[in-house]
Structure 1
Amino acid sequence: MFVENTVAEQADEPNSGVQTNLPLNNILTDSTHFETDWTSIEPIDVDETIEFPSINNSDNQSIEMLGWIPGNGSTVARTQILALVRDFGENFELPVSLYGQLENSDSWINLKDEVVSARFLDLMFTIQLTHHGKSIDAEHWWRFYNMGEQIAHALSRPFYPSHSLDSAQVVSLRLAEQVDNLNIQATLILQSKTNKQLSSRTLDYLAREYDLVQRGSEGVFDKMDKMPLSFAPVFTLKTNLPPRPDGTESDEEAGLALTCNLPCVRDPLEAFDQMVDLARKLESRFPLELVDEERLRVSPKEIQMIRLHLRSFSDDMQYCGITPGSETAMRLFYQPTVEETDPEASEPAGFAAVR
């Protein structure tokens, strides 16, 4: 009851005194805080031996820093939590999520899910340690820590981060290196021998014949997995050819390109074989030739060499603790296309999804 009253008062009075005596409060409320030398702040001792609860047995926790706010038997409503997020939540360049453990249950749900009447015991903030080339740094760590501390303080609860600043940076840099090494995209180019593009009618017919799903823009088709681990396509067929290695493009070139984001598919070798199979079928039916990025013909021997490399690719990912095609792989490697991105979205990564 005390927790509910504290949160309700905080929602009505966003400038109440709950912010006082908290780490970095003056820095974070200053509009010039981005100019702060975050590395000069005295580090905080973090007990990394604490056993954190698992959020629905998710593998994602291996790529995240966690911030745990245990309820110790008390509960709080979703609406009250979101009021605190509005007061203290920050936007980050790295993906941040907020989970709650449902009352009378071991289940956790993401607070962005619309369960308005739900009440929660423990809360868990997560921030992804690396995302599309950006890794956690001193500024991210301190802002994440300060946000969790303020929300926990308003709830009269403790706050436990899973990583110290040093360990978070070490883990994130190692993860970023693994992502960089595994971020491989396979592309097969079918160049037109006549420099003429296949008609839209022909492409629509091929899409139906080979079970391809047209994406929003014209000339883009996805081959979907019948037993998917994620929403990523097995491969994508496009009517525009990728540029040559020197970056040059030619309006006179025509043909098709098949691409596969290998870490994001359930079976990278099988996905590549499906691409090759379709490329060979199209090559036999139309004036198309399978070429490499230099527009030189690809031999069967080169295809076989790629297959040999891909035989160990899944094992390499598993060795790094990442299952191909899993949600974790999607979060690390998948980049939405223009069609999948909301051009009107103005809020950066952070708590936009749970507000």
Structure 2
Amino acid sequence: MNLQYALLFIGLVIIAVVALTAYDMSRLRRPRSRPESNLGHFPEDHTPVRPSLLDATRTEGSDKVLRFDIEISPREKPREEILREQIRQLEEVATMPLDLKHGVQRRLRPRAEPDRQYLPDEKLDFVIELPGEQPVVRDAALGIFKQHEYKLNKARHLYGRHHQTERWSELQLDNIATQYGDLMLAIQLVDPKGPVDESELTVFTEIGLQLADALQRPTKLPLTFEEGLVRARELQEFCDTYDVIAGIHVVPSTETTFPGRAIEMAASHAGLELGAMNIFHMKNEVAPGSRHSFSVANLHESSAFNPVAWDKFETSGLTLFMSVPCAFQPGAVFNRMVTTAREIADALGGKLQDQNRRPLSDKGIAVIHHQIEEIEKKMRAFGIPAGSETALKLFNEAATL
């Protein structure tokens, strides 16, 4: 019995040391926030901005789309972001299929989609190739990777080509008996916290070398270490330039408020559904891109609505907004958002305003539409089309709504 207690104590100590080490390393690699700039006036040409639902700071630029950068340190996440993460986790758990072979229990390990090829994103990832003629079993490679991946902050994946079918997949999605020929290790160069830095890319390459040494395989790098850092900076500049939110406000035509029950009815009639964060969403069910074409939030105070008290709820404005880089054919999505805004305004006795709270005319709508089309054109020219899978990962669509 004493031996069991001793082993249990040693195990707890090891877990604590590993956790503290990972925490300290993540703090050392955590990027510093940019200095906050002063708030300024909105432009006179109805320019879309990013994002408009939280306090924002202005980034000046004479020939670029005006952007508002939100600087939030990891210890100062707003309540809305925390709720958003919790809601996403709950939705993922709620949609997990049941494994009835061994009783009623959730299948916690995700499964690969049939016939889908899982490969690194050549536009977004830094890759280490590990070619090999002899097959390797999944856990022989994945086990080594899992021992060291905690040292990394950016999204990282280990891919393998099935030895018999030649199909590429992600190792953690396969069963333990799967065998692979070639392997590829990938890390995402940019995420919402910023570009990968030299320290983390060094750690990543060291993990790749450890994996190659353990499996007795050579390594090949499509990009050199220096080219990877340059690519990360280019992607960050691209993200800073085109991370744009286009929005339209709907406010009462007179000095009144919109009642909650009327808002619910108008939104439902327009095809909107109340969803994550207790705001309305127009689902995207037919095209690539973001799973929500656009959303509708409360313009004032908390962006959320109170669905359990519609009869008591009221607000002096609504805001419709869309992520331009995450929308497939964003010009068409914006047109649909305008149509929905007009429909809601007619139902509630309201009028349209731009994000500077000025009346939004047909001319102003045309200006915004033209700017969105220019963003779409430039994103395509860069090689990352709006609404593409790469754009969704780069602009973190999965963590937004």
TM-score w.r.t. length of structure 2: 0.64
Q: Which of 230, 236, 244 does residue 170 from structure 1 map onto?
A: 230
Equivalent residue, structure 1, for 2:81: none
Equivalent residue, structure 2, for 1:196: 257
Cα separation, 1, equivalents of 2:244 and 2:290: 18
Cα separation, 2, equivalents of 1:300 and 1:35: 51
Cα separation, 2, equivalents of 1:131 and 1:326: 16
Q: How many Å apart are 1:233 and its aligned residue?
A: 0.9
Equivalent residue, structure 2, for 1:111: 171
The 1:256/1:182 distance shift into structure 2, 3 A limit, reads: same
Equivalent residue, structure 1, for 2:328: 266
After TM superposition, list the pairs within 5 Å mapping 1:1-355 onto structure 2. 56=117, 60-72=121-133, 74-192=134-252, 193-199=254-260, 201-218=261-278, 220-241=279-300, 254-337=316-399
Whether the aligned pair in 1 keeps the contact of 2:266 and 2:344 (CA below 8 Å) is no
Whether the aligned pair in 2 keeps the contact of 1:240 and 1:254 (CA below 8 Å) is yes
Cα separation, 1, equivalents of 2:122 and 2:218: 20
1:281 partner letter: E
1:284 partner letter: D
Unaligned 5+ runs, structure 2: 1-20, 30-115, 303-312
Equivalent residue, structure 2, for 1:45: none
Could you give the per-residue CA deviations for residues 133-158 of structure 1, whole angstroms, max 9, x where no partner exists?
41122102210100010011111111
Cα separation, 1, equivalents of 2:138 and 2:390: 26
Q: How many Å apart are 1:275 and its aligned residue?
A: 0.8
Unaligned 5+ runs, structure 1: 1-27, 37-54, 244-250, 341-355
Cα separation, 1, equivalents of 2:209 and 2:370: 50
Cα separation, 2, equivalents of 1:109 and 1:285: 50
1:271 is paired with a residue whose SS is: helix
Q: How many Å apart are 1:66 and its aligned residue?
A: 0.3
The 1:233/1:172 distance shift into structure 2, 3 A limit, reads: same
1:157 partner letter: R
Q: How many Å apart are 1:330 and its aligned residue?
A: 0.1
Q: Once superposed, what is the RMSD of the aligned Cα atoms?
A: 2.9
Cα separation, 1, equivalents of 2:25 and 2:392: 35
Whether the aligned pair in 1 keeps the contact of 2:159 and 2:169 (CA below 8 Å) is yes
Could you give the per-residue CA deviations for residues 195-226 of structure 1, whole angstroms, max 9, x where no partner exists?
42332x434433432222321333x1111223
1:324 partner letter: A
TM-score w.r.t. length of structure 1: 0.72
Cα separation, 1, equivalents of 2:376 and 2:225: 31
The number of residues matched between the two structures is: 283
1:160 is paired with a residue whose SS is: coil
1:270 is paired with a residue whose SS is: helix
Q: How many Å apart are 1:308 and its aligned residue?
A: 1.9
Cα separation, 2, equivalents of 1:126 and 1:95: 8
Whether the aligned pair in 2 keeps the contact of 1:190 and 1:279 (CA below 8 Å) is yes
The 1:215/1:289 distance shift into structure 2, 3 A limit, reads: same
